[in-house]
């Protein structure tokens, strides 16, 4: 089946063993594989799709553990590089009692930031149907240049570009730099997915309002999607817009819900790139993506909770 190449960071999240504490209060941490682009690749493979990951980790225990996990998950790992000197990135993450997420990163610099243009497996990218990326890889050099070169190669080869920016303020010098950085490659994408929080950050407007969302529209886009957590998602194209309701599930941990959603949606696009022009087909793909996002919240961790096709179809059927 058509290949989707996901580019960017793969790292270890350390998550407190109990919910609702600050990082300082936490007594013990659980090691959880993470990095949105790596999660997306795993989500696609779990659904039976053809996924590859490009990125860099340290030549250390954690880096090899992550690369092996991807391989075991069925993701093509030919594009993974190992840095001899720098360590695999670490992020300490907690969902505090007030619902706010607190991040602390160990990246000074970490291996993911050191991926060089010369290390890119361009053959992999040129063979793909879709090239997917986030915004963490734009924060510093040399990774930023590698990211730009990969996008350029994909575009020249006629590969669809998919962008899922993530705002991680502690990683940028200031909020303005984050906004500018995220927007700097905005017009390149065929498809952009943002969450309601990201719409608010980027526009400083009310993300529930469609005209606020549309201020993010670019005429090069084929599709803009806003995810609204448990409420599902909204879609915007040149010709139509609408909303697809989410699913009620017993949510335990929402980490990676957006990645499960994106993986499921990209797998549908890989099979039928004309999805963008047919509202009914698009809605069907978004129903499936919502189901995958919902299921991913019912267990701890981003990767262990990714659904297969049968699980998602079961939830859709039961909810009817
Ligand atoms: P991430 O935490 O990965 O950054 P995100 O903020 O990008 O996630 P969300 O809007 O939280 O994305 O979630 C993506 C999709 O997953 C939603 O559109 C929805 O379909 C599903 N989802 C998320 N949270 C829930 C929930 N609590 N219950 C049911 N479905 C959910």
Instruction: State whether the beta carbon of 229 lies less than 6 angstroms from ligand 1.
Output: yes
- Out of 19, 254, 316, give the residue to mutate to test ligand 1, the one with the largest number of ligand atoms within 8 Å of its CB: 254
Average pLDDT, the chain: 95
Residue 126 is classified by DSSP as: H
Q: What percent of the chain has pLDDT over 70?
A: 100
Contacts 24+ apart (CB under 8 A), 101-110: 102/22, 102/23, 103/168, 103/170, 104/23, 104/170, 105/168, 105/170, 105/171, 107/171, 109/140, 110/11, 110/58, 110/86
List C-alpha distances in Å: 99 to 21, 265, 266. Answer: 10, 27, 29
Residue 318 pLDDT > 80: yes
pLDDT, tens digit (0-9, with 9 covering 90-100), for 149-158: 999 999 999 9
Query: What's the gap between Cα 201 and its chain centre?
Result: 17
Q: Determine the average pLDDT of the residues in 101-123.
A: 94
C-beta of 227 in contact with ligand 1 (< 6 A): yes
Does 95 contact ligand 1 (Cβ within 6 A)?
no
Task: Provide the pLDDT confidence category of residue 98 given band limits of 50, 70 and 90.
Answer: confident
Residue 233 CB–ligand 1 contact under 6 Å: yes
Atom of ligand 1 minimally distant from the CA of 39: 3
Coil/strand/helix, residue 119: helix
Question: So what's the pLDDT on residue 227?
Answer: 97
CA 149 / ligand 1 centre spacing (Å): 30
Condensed to tens digits (0 to 9), the pLDDT of residues 192-234 reads 999 999 999 999 999 999 999 999 999 999 999 999 999 999 9
Please choose, from the candidates 37, 50, 258, 2, the residue with its C-alpha nearest in 3D space to the C-alpha of residue 147: 37
* 69 CA → ligand 1 middle, Å: 23
Whether residue 99 is predicted with pLDDT greater than 80 in this model: the reply is: no
Residue 100 has a pLDDT of 78
- For ligand 1, whether the C-beta of 298 sits within 6 Å is no
pLDDT band at 102; cut points 50, 70, 90: confident
Q: From the CA of 311, how far away is ligand 1's center (Å)?
A: 17
CA of 46 from ligand 1 middle (Å) equals 18
Mean pLDDT of 47-66: 98
- Least confident window among 44-48, 143-147, 169-173, 314-318: 169-173
Residue nearest to atom 10 of ligand 1 (CA): 229
pLDDT interval class at 281 (50, 70, 90): very high
Which atom belonging to ligand 1 lies closest to the Cα atom of 198? Answer: 6
Residue identified by tokens 């990645």 is 259
- Ligand 1 pocket, residue 285 CB under 6 Å: no
Cα(261) to ligand 1 centroid in Å equals 7
**76: Cβ below 6 Å to ligand 1?**
no
Write down the pLDDT at residue 206.
Answer: 97
Mean pLDDT of 35-51: 98
Q: Compute the distance from residue 158 Cα to the ligand 1 centre, in Å.
A: 30
Predicted complex ipTM exceeds 0.90: yes
Residues 6+ apart with CB under 8 A from 72: none
């Amino acid at each position: 089946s058509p290949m989707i190449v996901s580019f960017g960071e793969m790292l270890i999240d350390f998550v407190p063993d109990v919910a609702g504490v600050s990082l300082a209060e936490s007594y013990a941490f659980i090691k959880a594989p993470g990095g949105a682009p790596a999660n997306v690749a795993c989500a696609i493979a779990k659904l039976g799709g053809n996924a590859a990951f490009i990125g860099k980790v340290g030549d250390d225990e954690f880096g090899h553990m992550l690369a092996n996990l991807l391989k075991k998950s069925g993701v093509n790992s030919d594009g993974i590089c190992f840095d001899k000197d720098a360590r695999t990135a670490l992020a300490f993450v907690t969902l505090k009692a007030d619902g706010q997420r607190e991040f602390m990163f160990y990246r000074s610099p970490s291996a993911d930031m050191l991926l060089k243009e010369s290390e890119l497996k361009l053959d992999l990218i040129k063979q793909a149907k879709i090239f997917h990326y986030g915004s963490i890889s734009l924060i510093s050099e040399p990774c930023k240049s590698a990211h730009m070169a990969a996008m350029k190669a994909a575009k020249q080869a006629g590969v669809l570009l998919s962008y899922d920016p993530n705002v991680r303020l502690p990683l940028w010098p200031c909020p303005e730099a984050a906004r500018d950085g995220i927007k700097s490659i905005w017009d390149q994408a065929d498809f952009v997915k943002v969450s309601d929080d990201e719409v608010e950050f980027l526009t400083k407007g009310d993300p529930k309002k469609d005209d606020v969302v549309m201020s993010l529209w670019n005429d090069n886009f084929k599709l803009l999607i806003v995810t609204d957590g448990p409420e599902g998602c909204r879609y915007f194209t040149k010709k139509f817009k609408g909303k697809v309701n989410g699913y009620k599930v017993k949510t335990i941990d929402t980490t990676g819900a957006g990645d499960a959603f994106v993986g499921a949606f990209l797998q549908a696009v890989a099979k039928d790139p004309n999805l963008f022009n047919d509202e009914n087909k698009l809605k069907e793909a978004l129903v499936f993506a919502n189901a995958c996002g919902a299921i991913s919240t019912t267990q701890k961790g981003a990767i262990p909770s990714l659904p297969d096709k049968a699980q998602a179809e079961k939830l859709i059927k039961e909810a009817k």
